[in-house]
Chains A and B, each alone.
Chain A
Amino acid sequence: MGLKLFKSVRREVVERHSLRTLFWECTLRCNLRCRHCGSDCRTDSELRDMPLEDFLHVLDTEVTPNVDPGRVLIIFSGGEVLVRDDLERAGQEVTKRGYKWGMVTNGMALTPKRFDALLKAGLRSVSVSFDGFEPIHNAIRQNPLSYERALAALRMISKSGIAYDAITCVTPELVPRLEEWNELLISEGITHWRIFSIFPAGRAKRDDKLHLSASDFRRVMEFIRKTRLENRINLSYACEGFLGGYESEVRDHFYMCAAGVNVASIRVNGDISGCTSVRANYTQGNIYTDSFWGVWQNRFDKFRNREWTKSDECKDCKVWQFCEGGGMHLRDDEGKLMYCHYRMLK
């Protein structure tokens, strides 16, 4: 009954398509080279960072006149956002315009001084990637210092009073140790935790060792379900895909891909798309050639009407009415589904 009700709520949400989250992919440079990176980031990206002024111009001329800024969250994402030395100014500028903003970081370059400067610039929310015990995290992140820097960042953030969570990309090595990992997070005072698993995009596509087997995946779901019942830490599974019987057990909400519905992104080259996890080419326009608001209001058909996903294995699937073909990030350039969470649990 809950699923059916939510389905009709979703229909109305899609019809309204109110912009609630705007990603700004402000850089593709990164100080790590993670094995699972969906963006394929490099230390020195071939693409230049987008000038802050360009982003602000879009906000001022296209977004702010059409939304209530207090209801839109702007997320600075990358790459690694902290490699930009004008992040404080960017934060200040969007805060002045009435927006809340947050960032996703690996924590490597988050010194106390920098964090304080970002808080003063209005930082309201942070997510830190934290992928498991030191050897696991460092091997995934391909850097021997990454674990201690991420932990230090989380310790600092958790005491600041802003919204935050640790994001763990669960790999096969971590699955048998999830209980221990949970205890470590709790002992470090971390209160909010989000788990996701690898999906085959970017660098992760080429690294089979990162992918969970069906039994591992079910084990992760069981772990999340149990941990949420214990209620010692606020744990959720990310918005990855429809989870059948685990819907409502492992997240605070039913599955919905909000990309292009409530979520838009402005990529580093100006491309306008749904959320930044969508790496295949579903670009709807470009801020340098199109009106952002015009694109948001009049395009995004593929994101808002997912009937086109009803093909191949989804064609006769009985749960399509609830999952609508899974997340847009799980579709390749040809529209084919690369990974089905529901199938993994069957």
Chain B
Amino acid sequence: MNMKWKIALLTLLGFSTAACCNTKKLSKSEDAKPDNVESETEDPRIMLMYGVPFPDGQIVRPVEDAETVKPEEEGVPFPDGSVAHPITDEEAEKRLEEIKSEIAAKEAQEAQKEQNE
């Protein structure tokens, strides 16, 4: 059974892996690529761990000469305004504790506010 049939069968079985496979034959105008360029059957699209979804359809907006927008601060933006620097594990632990305290304080404040209301 060739791949096309297997994919068709998978589609019939209701698996969208198959549905997202494209067995489109290239038209003559698209055939202009050299022989070594792969073509024809598209493989199943696997949703990756950290990858992004595969876009379909046309380009949403035309490509323009995009203005480069620099990150807000020089180097790496950091919310407390500090200059970017390598963080040691000790600093990270300290920072985590600070965040936990901030969150706890915020929650206590909100609880107090609710109580007052």
Contact = CB atoms under 8 A, between A and B. Distances in A.
A44 B10 contact: no
B95 A124 contact: no
Given A66-B36, A83-B71, A275 B51 contact: yes
B60 A124 contact: yes
A239 B46 contact: yes
B82 to A, nearest CB: 9
Contacts of A118: 66
B47 A251 contact: yes
A236 interface: yes
Given A104-B51, A125-B52, A263-B46, 14 more contacts: A1-B13, A2-B13, A5-B10, A9-B44, A35-B96, A73-B51, A108-B77, A120-B66, A122-B63, A125-B54, A192-B53, A253-B44, A263-B51, A277-B48
A167 B50 CA distance: 8
A276 B52 CA distance: 12
A319 B13 CA distance: 21
B47 A88 contact: no
B56 interface: yes
A12 B3 contact: yes
B111 interface: no
A20 B43 contact: yes
Contacts of B38: 16, 18, 66-68
B33 A258 contact: no
B49 A196 contact: yes
Q: Which 9 A-B pairs have the closest CB atoms?
A: A102-B52, A253-B17, A124-B55, A121-B66, A88-B66, A125-B52, A163-B55, A277-B49, A120-B64
Interface stretch (A109-117, A213-221, A331-339): A109-117
B63 A142 contact: no
A171 interface: no
A254 B15 contact: yes
B86 A253 contact: no
B23 to A, nearest CB: 12
Interface string A33-66: 1010000001110100000000000000000011
Interface in A179-212: 192, 194, 196
A109 B50 contact: no
A226 B94 CA distance: 40
A100 B58 CA distance: 10
Interface residues of B, number: 64
Residue among B3, B15, B36, B50 with the most chain A CB within 10 A?
B50
Interface residues of A, number: 95
B99 A139 contact: yes
Contact of B68 (A86, A161, A263): A86
A283 B23 CA distance: 32
A31 B103 CA distance: 20
A238 B77 contact: no
A208 B97 CA distance: 17
A143 B55 contact: no
A291 interface: no
Given A12-B3, A238-B47, A44 B85 contact: yes
Contacts of B6: 5, 8-9
Contacts of B95: 33, 142
Interface string A129-143: 000001100110011
Given A88-B68, A135-B107, A119 B48 contact: no
B31 to A, nearest CB: 11
A91 interface: yes
A42 B76 CA distance: 11
B43 A43 contact: no
Interface in B1-44: 1, 3, 6-7, 9-10, 13, 15-17, 20, 33-34, 36-39, 41-44
A163 B52 contact: yes
Contact of B96 (A6, A142, A160, A163): A142
Contacts of B33: 68
